[in-house]
Structure 1
Amino acid sequence: MKRGNNVGNAIRTTAAAVVEVDVDVVAVLVVVVVVVVVGVVVVVIDVVAVIVVVVEVVEVVALTVSVAIVVAIEVAVVAVVAVVAVVAAVAAAVVVVAVVVSAVGVVVAAVVGGGGVVDAVVIKVVVLQK
């Protein structure tokens, strides 16, 4: 009978050891799952941080490009206004020259005798003297 009792105790001990091993395996699995979940969360946070940085860089680049475009447009407008001002100044100078040339032409015509008024006055003076 002693052998039977010893065998029973051995089985109980083995069963207890198996249960103990099962509990340890479950604890290890829980720890592994927690570590994996925390790792995934950290990776997700890192990915989101990288996305945020990329978005910020894109915003800065877009802002820089838009400012450059606005500055280029403003420079172009200033250049066009400057060209228009130069053309207007040249046109005004041409008009002034034309007016001066016309005035000189009228004076020359009057003095030389090409004008009818001077001829009439000269003729009248000559007739009156005779």
Structure 2
Amino acid sequence: MFARGVAAASVLIAVVLVGAVAIVVVVVVVGVVIEVVIAVVLLAVAVIVAVVVGEGEVVVVVVVVVVVVVVVVEVVVKVVFVAVI
């Protein structure tokens, strides 16, 4: 009787832990997707501004580099955060 209770509790704990990890992973994935969408929008705005201003190449290159670096750093931080948890 006691062994069955321990087994049931172990299964319940495992299910809760898997659920918690799944929730964290989903939140991180959704966060990454949102960041990528924001980055694409920022890049589009940068291209439009560059075309309007006329200094296309310089502005686009600088903005692309900055946005890509920021997104990559944020994604790496989130992945490391999930790995640590």
TM-score by length of 1: 0.43
Q: Give the paired residue count.
A: 57
Give the whole-Å Cα distance in 2 for the aligned partners of 1:101 and 1:115.
15
Give the whole-Å Cα distance in 2 for the aligned partners of 1:114 and 1:76.
53
Letter in 1 for 2:26: A
Structure 2 counterpart of 1:106: 47
Runs of 5+ consecutive residues of structure 1 not aligned to the other structure: 1-59, 117-130
Runs of 5+ consecutive residues of structure 2 not aligned to the other structure: 58-85
For residues 48-87 of structure 1, what are the structure 2 equivalents within 5 Å?
60-87=1-28
TM-score by length of 2: 0.65
Rg larger in structure: 1
| % identity of equivalent residues | 46
Report the aligned-residue RMSD.
1.0
Moved >6 Å (runs of 4+): none
Give the whole-Å Cα distance in 1 for the aligned partners of 2:56 and 2:17.
52
What secondary structure sits across from 2:55 in the alignment? Answer: coil
